[in-house]
Structure 1
């Protein structure tokens, strides 16, 4: 059977969302030595607004997934510190210098120790930058930073799928996505296995939904295989008696379209599909705008509610780079 080409992959928002969803587990999986030094009973706080200000000032261009987190250490020498994390998706000759720049600019702004950590999600097995610095006239300035290289987990794929840490599944999904870039059928089987594992680990509903969103974004499938996967998910949820994923709006939209076909209501089907996709786009865009810029005004919500699908797509493309709501909605 011939399938459509596998759609292009996306790595930015899913990584950021799951990192914020399960930050202690992120640290435990990729940076266990640092994880044990943090007093997790004191909580942690994301400082991404502050990080965006530093990025804007540094004029370093488009970022991949990055975040700034305030944590408290166990040893008492520092009441709290900042952790800066960057997930890099491709080889970049300026990456180490960027980590160095982030580190000293954050220290200069907050006068607090800054721990810089990197996750490398690229394809180049030989690329693993972990330091940057210079020495001149007896003055030495160097940053060494811990690195987690996802390609190095390839030999542990079977173990990853048995690991209860959610980032084991995220890592497996990333590696399977890379491996199946040109093989939609293989990606379908890999995605189905990982979705099944979401239920096998016995996580709560919200964690399953959040991780499913990551898998679904990373491991995109052609339409035919996507519909086949949704049928599989229905079967999985029937067996586990956990109706989680199939309760989301996306499946309801697809079912509405299928019902329209069965009833011969071609025009109604098209309108229903467009409205369903539009409602879904509004919901997603509202969530991401709120996360980046805070609570939305009534005027902004009205603007979203009256927008066309093309406008919603345009605004969604701008979210990652825009510094403000005005930049997202800029008509110029």
Structure 2
């Protein structure tokens, strides 16, 4: 089984969207301290699509864009890049600059670009882009976090209740078990069990359970073995009401209903829908995004217009 089995992109993107304040508090404390958290950050997914729309880059790069307000009431944008590739990327610095400029150009707001590097290349630490030519100078410095550095801080991660401590541990052990999936199952079981033991609320257990489960993908046999361990553990602890399994099943049902409704309404309005568009809709796992798309089906003028939203 190859590394493609692992799913880094979706868990990181969803975790940052769910826990943006925790994300900045853990990785970029200086930025966290600038923000007025009494005003809720706004996720700018549609704006981000405009920034990255013509990118032909096939590398796995996760991006999130937020609008926040600083303590001096200044409105700024925070552009987060998560690079999960395991090899050196010569174009990363340039891409950081291009996306930074496009984010600024879109609404002429100050932009803070941040980078998380989840690769395995110890010496690859991009942090700036620029040139000096003919008297013309350009330079962009951007803060970078290297997840590999946390291998030496493992005991601190285990004791830290910030959700991103768990995300880092799951990421590093997923990378470390590419060729040993039995060991990955063991680490996954350890992480899931620790969610209960650390005293997280039921809701937090469900959320973090989902991120770990998505990232640390396993073949069917090992996943079934893990499921039995979790079910037995939940029974022994007499977990109340809805377990993570039940919660995920409910979310899956909601997700499928939304996908079916989107396709049905589009078929009713436009009769013929390209199979590629149906596949794209069925591959969307974010319930909030599906809810937004469902509303768009009512007013969108054409299939082409709807495809530009997906």
TM-score bin (small chain)? 0.7 to 0.9
Residues 285 and 65 (structure 1), Cα distance of their counterparts in 2 relative to 1, 3 Å cut: farther
Q: How does 1:164-183 map to 2 (within 5 A)?
A: 164-183=161-180
Residue aligning to 1:326: 307
Residue aligning to 1:259: none
Aligned-pair CA distance for 1:137: 2.3
Q: How does 1:50-65 map to 2 (within 5 A)?
A: 50-56=47-53, 58-62=54-58, 64-65=61-62
Match status 1:152 vs 2:118:
no
State the aligned residue count: 283
Gaps of 5+ in 2: 287-303
Q: How does 1:22-171 map to 2 (within 5 A)?
A: 22-56=19-53, 58-62=54-58, 64-74=61-71, 76=72, 78-90=73-85, 91-171=88-168
Aligned-pair CA distance for 1:55: 1.1
- Residues of 2 paired with 1:315 and 1:104: CA distance? 30
Aligned-pair CA distance for 1:140: 1.3
CA contact (8 A) 1:89 1:122 kept: yes
Aligned-pair CA distance for 1:313: 6.1
CA contact (8 A) 1:319 1:328 kept: no
RMSD of equivalent CA atoms: 3.3
- Residues of 2 paired with 1:185 and 1:316: CA distance? 30
Residue aligning to 1:185: 182
CA contact (8 A) 1:68 1:83 kept: yes
Aligned-pair CA distance for 1:51: 1.0
What TM-score does the superposition give when structure 1 sets the normalisation length?
A: 0.75
Residue aligning to 1:246: 245
Residues 51 and 286 (structure 1), Cα distance of their counterparts in 2 relative to 1, 3 Å cut: farther
Q: 1:204 aligns with which of 198, 201, 206?
A: 201
Which is worse superposed, 116-125 or 234-243?
234-243
Gaps of 5+ in 1: 253-278
